[in-house]
Structure 1
Amino acid sequence: MKNLLIFSFLIFSICIIAQDGTSQDYLSSEFHQGRREALRAKMPANSVAVFFANPVRNRANDVDYVYHQDPDFYYLTGYKEPHAVLVIFSEEQVSEDAKKYDEVLYVQEKNPQAEMWTGYRLGVEGAINELGFNRVFNGKDFLNNAINFSEFESVLHKPFTNDYRDSRDPADLASLVQSFKNKVNIKSIQQNNDPLGLEVKQEIAAKKDVNVDTESLYTYMGELRQIKSPEEMKLLKKAVRISAMGQIEVMKAMHPGMSETEVQGIHEYVFKKYGSEYEGYPSIVGAGNNGCVLHYIENNKTKLEQDLVLMDLGAEYHGYTADVTRTIPANGKYNAEQKAIYDLVYEAQEAGIAAAVVGNNSSDTHKAGLDIINKGLYELGIISSPDEQHRYFPHGTSHHIGLDVHDLNTRGSFQPNMVITVEPGIYIPEGSDCDEKWWGIAVRIEDDILITENGPVNLSSEAPRRAEEIEAMMKKSSIFDKLSLPELD
């Protein structure tokens, strides 16, 4: 068998690598600028939109989780660091030095000592040169900025969370958010009746009528993000292909003596091999009855034995997240009950994919699969009537993917260049009201589907879906077959 690296290089020739070994296929500053312009076109007259970077989140004591930027903030800026603010105006503003502008970016300040510990910061100059902004300031300047929010008909922002991590930086996110809250609730007025004829500014700590809108940005950003541009599709397709390759490699490596954690490790090794920075969501590897827990992430069963193994994993590549699920037999062969359920889910998924066309919506993909599953469960004697309400298919069938695994959208009809999942499933936990031979069988099949004018395109079809195709793939040799580590006490 060819080495995985060689095989993968032939498949993934689309990856662009610079001489220093870093990937160069990130979104361009022109893309992000275009997204800001598109948002500005949707904003009401005389309005301002304020976006905050994601907070740094604490894992334990002095250890934080790996930082991940807020998807909207990244979409509009390309900036990946914390403690930042983006302000977008619907119309041009004029600065004190008579310069016109319609957006301002506030970034965390350069700090050589901090950068020695936590990494390079773009700073003001880097944000101007690399992100294409003309007006950039350090975060501390936001604390004292002269924006008078009372002058705008609408002040748009998303609701705040309460998980801001205190830091030694006086311009950390908590300070930036508090400063903004103060500004939209405190009125600044000028007094011109000073006996010396001097202009005096007085801040009145009282509520004022500022039209704060915490809802519209969800609509505007959903309208933008649900339609994927060619630049986005390049990254999203790569995330999907990486995820499909992970499924293929696990199919070849799987054996009954493996653990759920080992399976997760193979998937995530493949993700990293192809340049995926993160998993798009916590990896789900559920063997047997564990697969009946929809978001099972413990992945701690030590032996797969003869179980079906439900694997729902998605690579995140340059911000864009895939979502691909396969359910395979640990021993390489579906037994009669496993195959009956698997084939039923496969038939439902085929119907759901066929319904993923322009003008339909997620209700259509769900109903197409649900009707088949209900009829099939009745014919197998698992439910007493095809109209019976049951819990064996408890979730929806489709959601959008993109910068989020459940990506922003307007919940409307499918349009060209949307990307959705189609993921029917059947889950029969132990103790269910049916023959015991079905207990512990859980099957989900999930693919990422591009909506086009010419019908649905399955972006993750590289990973086998039919039961016979999966069994054939599982007979192939794997580069992991000879991997052997000593046992630990």
Structure 2
Amino acid sequence: MKKTIWTLLLVMFSMSTFAQSYFEDGLSSEWHSERRAELRKLMPANSAAVFFNNPVKNRTNDVDFIYHPNTDFFYFTGFREPNAVLVIFSEKREVNGGLADELIFVQNRDPRAEMWNGKRLGTEGMVANLGFQEALLNSDFAAKSGINLKDFDKILTFSLSEDIEGSSSNEPLIQMVNEFKTATAYPDALTEVSAQVYEMIKNSDLKSSDRVVQMLKRYERQYPDMMEDPLISSFMNAASPEKRMVVKEEIPEQKLDISSLGEMMGVLREIKTPEEITLLKKAVKISAVGQVEVMKAAKVGMTEREIQGVHEFIYKRYGAEELGYPSIVGGGNNGCILHYIENDKRDLSDRLLLMDLGAEWRGYTADVTRTIPINGKFNEEEKAIYDLVYQAQEAGIAISKPGTTFQEIDAAGRQIINDGLAKLGIIKKGEGHQYFPHGTSHHIGLDVHDRGTRNPIQVGMVFTIEPGIYIPIGSDCDEKWWGIAVRIEDDILITEEGAVNLSGDAPRTVAAIEEMMRLPSVLEEWVLPEID
């Protein structure tokens, strides 16, 4: 009888699970397959690329965080379940009696687990829904995959964590990672930093070794632990270029490569396809509407958490599945904390409100920031700082076209801010300061700080332009400037015609913001009962 019940459950889950994709309006299985084909073009001959999906993360006790897949893994698969690994071959090879250029290993169908934790695609669903020719169970990763990793000249992957949470939810992943490490003789001390340093040393010669040492000294300031590696330490401390070359020869040749795959992913993911741009536009539009509606609803006496809730309600109202990152809602001096996420200020009665939020739509995230006066009108000092940031952003947008670099965009805005702060008497002309402590641009996509390269801007890139000025209480300037924090952040698409501001629906100028804040809010009639 029990067997019959579980069989019926499995049939029901099978019928309800096999839709076209997780998102009917998301990326197609053909799109993901094309992305895998593009990676093969970048891979060296006779190589394999191995992608493990993210582990489950525990929130507290027996409650886990909402699962989010590794974005590289999702980019190639569209798959959103844990305990999975994707292996992509540079060329077709014989596997289990047939030819294949990829294999994916996933968790099994389990009616009891699915009743508690949601549907699983299983191997059949991977073929029927996500376009894989063959899928295997994760329990077969080592035993029945037909892959001998020793046959490859290069095995591309990422640095593998030593601290995957050891709950039962992650047991299959831990098993696969351990099997992979055994098969590849994965060194215990291998990290992305040491791999990059080894690569720099291996590529050095007598003429370039001095320059490489200078680069490694900069690395050392950020990653002091790297000097614990005797080969790296010996190279940096060698008495002459000739002795460095002796150390260089001691670095072992590795089939395992944990640095090149990140570079390949940067090349692929920094240029968005038309399908990705469609999803990003939707994420940004939703986020811009959130900013607009909060401008209408904001008033003295509201709380940071209340403002956060309005934004996130709008995201959910449009069907966004998640936030792209923790919401930043900083009133007054809290806006000077760049990644302020506590959002627990209870009485927004003082001055400016900085709101940095982004909806995630079908895996792709926006990143939009607006700064508004909570009482509806900028005072003289706030307006002066705001206009400086606005002019800096306008300068960056104006030069955003194919061939421009992020460094040039940053320099254009930074010059305006530096000159403006000096003119206002906040700094002396030419003086260094920390009032604009962050960069101006980063790619957005599957990650809010998306993968990319240092290449000049190209058609198809989507990135932020986000200058800011932050003057914390206690700063070395007139007190009238204290507590002012302004950031304006927009999401820019580069086309053949130039820059398109995808988040332009959210007002950016002082006049436009003040006008929007005078309009009635759809939430004004939404009055909740008092709770003691």
TM norm structure 2: 0.82
2:482 to 426, 439, 442: 439
Aligned position for 2:312: 268
Any residues of structure 2 matched to 1:32-431 within 5 Å, and which?
Answer: 32-97=32-97, 99-144=98-143, 145-168=145-168, 172-185=172-185, 211-385=255-429, 387-431=430-474
Larger CA deviation: 137-146 vs 398-407: 137-146
Please say if residues 155 and 210 of structure 1, whose CA atoms lie closer than 8 Å, have aligned partners that are also in contact: no
Unaligned runs of 5+ in 2: 1-18, 187-251
Contact 1:47 1:152 (C-alpha < 8 Å) held by counterparts: yes
State the alpha-carbon separation in 1 of the partners of residues 348 and 315 from structure 2.
22
Q: Which runs of 5+ in 1 are unaligned?
A: 1-18, 187-207
CA distance in 2, matches of 1:388, 1:110: 63
The aligned counterpart of 1:477 is: 520
* Alpha-carbon separation, structure 2, partners of 1:161 and 1:239: 31
Asked if the contact 2:83–2:170 (Cα under 8 Å) also holds between the matched residues in 1, the reply is: no
The DSSP-based 3-state class of the residue aligned with 1:172 is: helix
The aligned length equals 447
The aligned amino acid for 1:481 is E
Match in the other structure for 2:504: 461
1:161 Cα deviation from its structure 2 partner: 2.0
In the alignment, which residue of structure 2 is the partner of 1:202? none
Q: Assess if the C-alpha contact under 8 Å between 1:400 and 1:407 holds in 2.
A: yes
Which shifted more, 160-169 or 458-467?
Answer: 160-169
- Shift of residue 307 of structure 1? 1.7
Q: Is the 8 A contact 2:56 2:169 kept in 1?
A: no
Displacement after TM superposition at 1:384 (Å): 1.4
Deviation of the 1:278 alpha carbon:
0.8
Q: In the TM superposition, what is the alpha-carbon distance from 1:210 to its structure 2 partner?
A: 5.3
Instruction: Return the alpha-carbon distance in structure 2 between the equivalents of residues 308 and 232 of structure 1.
Output: 34
Deviation by residue 1:377-397 (Cα, 9 ceiling, x = unmatched): 111110111x11001000000
SS at match of 1:124: helix
Deviation of 1:24 after TM superposition, in Å, equals 2.0
CA drift of 1:228 comes to: 0.4
Deviations 1:225-275 (A, max 9, x none): 000001101100000000000000000000011000000000000010111
* Per-residue CA distance 1:292-345 (angstroms, 9 max, x = gap): 000000000001113200000000101101000000000100011111110110
Counterparts of residues 17-32 of structure 1 (less than 5 Å): 24-32=24-32
SS at match of 1:410: coil
Which structure is higher in helix share? 2
3-state secondary structure, aligned to 2:141: helix
Does the 8 Å contact 1:88/1:104 carry over to 2? yes
Whether contact under 8 Å (2:280, 2:366) holds in the other structure is yes
8 Å contact 1:421–1:449 — kept in the other structure? yes
Give, in whole Å, the separation in 2 of the partners of 1:42 and 1:474.
50
Code of the residue aligned with 1:408 in structure 2: it is R
Shift of 1:209: 7.0
Cα distance, 1:143 vs. partner?
A: 3.2
Displaced runs of 4 or more, over 4 A: none
Distance 1:394 1:168, change over 3 A: closer
| TM-score, L = length of structure 1 | 0.89
After TM superposition, give the deviation of residue 473 of structure 1 in Å: 0.4
Contact 1:57 1:163 in 2 (8 A): no
RMSD across aligned C-alpha pairs, in angstroms?
1.6
Residue matched to 1:6: none
8 Å Cα contact 1:355-1:365 kept in structure 2: yes
Q: Which whole-Å CA distance do the structure 1 matches of 2:61 and 2:253 have between them?
A: 41
The alignment-based identity, stated in percent, is 58
